[in-house]
Amino acid sequence: MFGFLKKKEPAQLNETLYAVATGKLIPISEVNDPVFSQKMMGDGFAVLPETGDIYSPIEGEVLSVFQTKHAVGMKMANGLEILLHMGIDTVELNGEPFNIKVSEGSKVSQGTLIAKVDLESITSAGKAIDMVVVITNMDMVKSFKLNKTGQVTAGDEVGISQS
């Protein structure tokens, strides 16, 4: 009767996430930014890319492209929300290194080109190039498990959210 008083159980959301770039995949706990490494925004991973081609880690819809182009929010059909944050402290670069290839409302699949990023511009500004993927609504899942770390190719299966 009073269902709103019950603790909401996580839905069955066993969803695979994919590498956003070719490069070195690291657990989110190794990202050199406490907001990410301490999982304040959620769990996930990062790729230290070899090239500036950055792809979608999921199938879903683009919810938002940040004004400074350094981050893209996406949502899967099951409601799982993913943040792709390109670089560390790159908001300060006012969008310069980012050529975004999607817009709000765009449908994306794993492998859709999200952005072309000028990695040299980021590093010459003294910023890190970590491409961070975060599940921002972890209340919907019990855990996130990385299946691999180290060298990956864009599009490789790298982790699964588990309910």
What number of other Cβ atoms are within 10 A of residue 65's Cβ?
20
Q: Is 85 a catalytic residue?
A: yes
Residues 6+ apart with CB under 8 A from 74: 56, 57, 58, 60, 61, 62, 63, 81, 82, 83, 84, 108
Residues 6+ apart with CB under 8 A from 122: 87, 90, 93, 97, 128, 129
CA distance 120 to 57: 23
Is residue 132 within 8 A of residue 31, CB to CB? The reply is: yes
**Which of 42, 73, 83, 85 is flagged as catalytic?**
85
Say if strands 113-117 and 98-100 run parallel, antiparallel, or are unpaired. antiparallel
Residues known to be catalytic: 85
